C-alpha cells in the first residue's frame, strides 16, 4: 500500500495558477515562432544570398515564386508573432508583477521600452534609406545606436531595476523589436516590390536600390541576432543585471 500511495503521488500533476499557465503557453509559442524566424534569417544570409548570385536571370522568377516568396511569408509572420508573444510574456509576467510589488504602474517601463527601441529603429531606417552606407559603416552606426539605447533602458526604466528578467529581456527584446521592424519596414516591403515586379515582367526601376536596402537590413538583423539571443538566454541562465 505504501508503494501504491507513493506511485499515486508521483502521477498527480502539479497545479498551476492562471498566470503560470499563461506564461508557459506564451513562452512555448514565443520559442516556436522565434526558432522559425531566426532559422530563416540565417538561411537567407548564409545560404540564399550566395545562391542567388549564381542563379541565371531566366531562373530567378521561378526561384522568387516558389522559394523566396513563400520563405518571406513565413519569415515576416514568424517575426511578428515572436515579438508579440515575447512582449506579452515580458510585460505581464515580469514587468506587471514587479510594478504590483512596487505599487506603481507598469506602463512607465512598457512605454519607455517601446519609445527607446522604436526610435532606435527609426534612426537605423533613416541611415539605411537615406545614407546608403557600406556594410562596415552601417555595422559601426548600428553598434553605437543599440548600445546607447540599451544604456538608456537599463538606467532609466522605472520598474524592475533589481530584476534581471525585466532588464535582460528589455535589452534582448529591444533588439528583437528593431529586427522585426526591419523585417516589416524594409526587408519584406522592398523584396515584395522587386519580386512582384519581376513576376509581372516589369521590375521596378529602383530594383537595385530596394534590393540593397533589404540586404543591409537583413545583415543588420543577422548581426543583432547574436547579442539578442545572448540577452534573452541570460534572463534565465545567467544573472547579468539587477539581482
pLDDT at residue number 113: 97
Are 64 and 198 in contact, with CB atoms under 8 Å apart? yes
pLDDT tens profile 141-150: 999 999 999 9
Write down the pLDDT at residue 19.
Answer: 76
Q: Is residue 33 part of a domain?
A: yes
- pTM for the structure as a whole: 0.90
Q: Locate all alpha helices (DSSP H) within 106-242, ordered by sequence.
A: 107-126, 135-156, 164-182, 188-199, 207-237
Residue 3 inside a domain? The answer is: no
Question: Residue 25 falls within a domain, yes or no?
Answer: yes
Chain position carrying cell 538608456: 152
**Among candidates 123, 118, 117, which has minimal Cα distance to 174?**
117
The domain tally of the chain equals: 1
The answer to whether residue 157 sits within a structural domain is yes
* Residue 9 belongs to a domain: no
Q: Which residues span the domain enclosing 79?
A: 15-237
CA-CA-CA-CA torsion sign (140, 142, 145, 149): negative
Q: Does residue 242 sit within a domain?
A: no
Please write the tens of the pLDDT for every residue from 141-190.
Answer: 999 999 999 999 999 999 988 899 999 999 999 999 999 999 999 999 99
Q: How far apart are CA 25 and CA 119, in angstroms?
A: 30
Cα separation, 125 vs 73, whole angstroms:
21
pLDDT at 203: 84
**What pLDDT does 6 receive?**
64
pLDDT value at residue 239: 74
- Among 157, 155, 168, 79, CA closest to 113: 157
242, 160 contact by CB (below 8 A):
yes
Residue 243 in domain: no
Residue 39 lies in a domain: yes
Whole-number pLDDT of residue 15: 62
pLDDT for 242 equals 65
CB atoms within 10 A of CB 40: 19
For the four alpha carbons of 107, 149, 23 and 82, in that order, the dihedral sign comes to positive
Q: For the CA atoms of 75, 81, 87, 92, what is the dihedral angle to 10 degrees?
A: -160
Residues in the chain where the model's pLDDT stays below 70: 1-16, 242-243
Amino acid at each position: 500500500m505504501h508503494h501504491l500511495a507513493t506511485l499515486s503521488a508521483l502521477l498527480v500533476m502539479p497545479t498551476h495558477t492562471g498566470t503560470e499557465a499563461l506564461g508557459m503557453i506564451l513562452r512555448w509559442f514565443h520559442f516556436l515562432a522565434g526558432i522559425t524566424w531566426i532559422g530563416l534569417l540565417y538561411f537567407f544570409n548564409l545560404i540564399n544570398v550566395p545562391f542567388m548570385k549564381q542563379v541565371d536571370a531566366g531562373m530567378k522568377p521561378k526561384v522568387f515564386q516558389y522559394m523566396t516568396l513563400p520563405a518571406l511569408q513565413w519569415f515576416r509572420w514568424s517575426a511578428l508573432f515572436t515579438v508579440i508573444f515575447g512582449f506579452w510574456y515580458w510585460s505581464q509576467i515580469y514587468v506587471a508583477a514587479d510594478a504590483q510589488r512596487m505599487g506603481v504602474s507598469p506602463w512607465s517601463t512598457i512605454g519607455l521600452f517601446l519609445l527607446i527601441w522604436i526610435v532606435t529603429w527609426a534612426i537605423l531606417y533613416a541611415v539605411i534609406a537615406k545614407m546608403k552606407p557600406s556594410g562596415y559603416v552601417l555595422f559601426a552606426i548600428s553598434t553605437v545606436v543599440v548600445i546607447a539605447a540599451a544604456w538608456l533602458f537599463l538606467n532609466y526604466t522605472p520598474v524592475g531595476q533589481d530584476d534581471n528578467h525585466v532588464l535582460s529581456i528589455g535589452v534582448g527584446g529591444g533588439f528583437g523589436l528593431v529586427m522585426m521592424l526591419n523585417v516589416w519596414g524594409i526587408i519584406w516591403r522592398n523584396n515584395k516590390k522587386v519580386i512582384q515586379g519581376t513576376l509581372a515582367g516589369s521590375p521596378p526601376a529602383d530594383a537595385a536600390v530596394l534590393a540593397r536596402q533589404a540586404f543591409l537590413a537583413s545583415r543588420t538583423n543577422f548581426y543583432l541576432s547574436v547579442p539578442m539571443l545572448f540577452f534573452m538566454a541570460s534572463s534565465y541562465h545567467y544573472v547579468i543585471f539587477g539581482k
